[in-house]
Amino acid sequence: MSLRLLSWFLLFHSGFGSSCNTKYHVKEACFRNYGTPRDVITNVTSLAMCASLCFEDDSCASVLFDGFKKICFTNSGFAKNLTANCGLKYAYFVQSSCKVLSNLGNVCDTEDDCTDVGSTCLEGLCSCKAGYSLNQSSSTCLQFCDLYGTTFTAFVGFLLTGNNDVILENMNKTSCTAACINTTTFTCRTAELSDDNQCFLSTETAITRPTKYIAYNGYTYFQRNCE
């Protein structure tokens, strides 16, 4: 099937059983950097099959189909450095509606590469900013979670001054964040660890106390993510 006919096939079969009006964009492409794929699926015989696998996955935003090797690469974000007119070896598919598309977790060079609300480029990956918690199920950055989970985003060289609900001694990263998770007397949203092994737990964040969030050598600020 030619790429043009495949485009019409996808448009006429939009939704793959969904009740919403999904649109598909198919283009010839090659990539210098597609980012780290969420999944690599072999023995995929067509882009239509690859696209349908993406539609069935709520966190899939795009796929790269290798027509020579019959491999489907799925991704929760979008390709960077796309160069057109590279022949028919690769085909690129993007879901443009019916889902909230996120580039959290994608490779980035600058903050401009990270378009989600509350996101930034942190150590080469699009991540939630300090004060925002990652909601993995919706791929969004939230200022507050209904329920807080067991993972944290670390910001090395930053500190939330004051606002300490608990101070613990002789701690490391694992024990400090575990203490935050296990606290029951208040909702622990952030933890900080100093190079001399002091651990500070707080219900406050870089959003609720923005003037207290500062760059400070010798400390790491941990933002607790959503469940």
Tokens for 167? Answer: 């101070």
Q: Same structural domain for residues 218 and 136?
A: yes
Q: How far is CA 193 from the centre of its chain?
A: 25
Q: Which of 74, 95, 116 is the last residue of a domain?
A: 95
Whether 105 is covered by a domain: the verdict is no
β-bridge mates for residue 75, sequence order:
62
Judge contact between 178 and 156, C-beta under 8 A: no
- Whether the pTM exceeds 0.75: the reply is no
Q: Same structural domain for residues 71 and 148?
A: no
Distance CA 129, CA 91 (A): 33
β-bridge mates for residue 154, sequence order:
222
Task: State which residues form the domain around 67.
Answer: 3-95
Q: Same structural domain for residues 91 and 140?
A: no
Whether 182 is covered by a domain: the verdict is yes
Q: Same structural domain for residues 7 and 79?
A: yes
Tokens for 71? Answer: 């491999």
Helix extents (H) in the chain: 3-12, 47-55, 173-182
Whether 24 is covered by a domain: the verdict is yes
User: What pLDDT tens digit does each residue of the chain (227 aa) get?
Assistant: 333 333 323 332 333 333 333 334 444 445 555 666 778 899 888 777 787 777 777 677 777 777 778 888 887 776 655 554 454 456 666 655 444 457 788 888 888 888 888 999 999 999 999 999 998 877 889 999 999 999 999 999 999 999 999 999 999 999 999 999 999 999 999 999 999 999 999 999 999 999 999 999 999 999 999 99
Tokens for 64? Answer: 């790269």
Domain count, the chain: 2
**CATH code of residue 194:** 3.50.4.10
Judge contact between 92 and 30, C-beta under 8 A: no
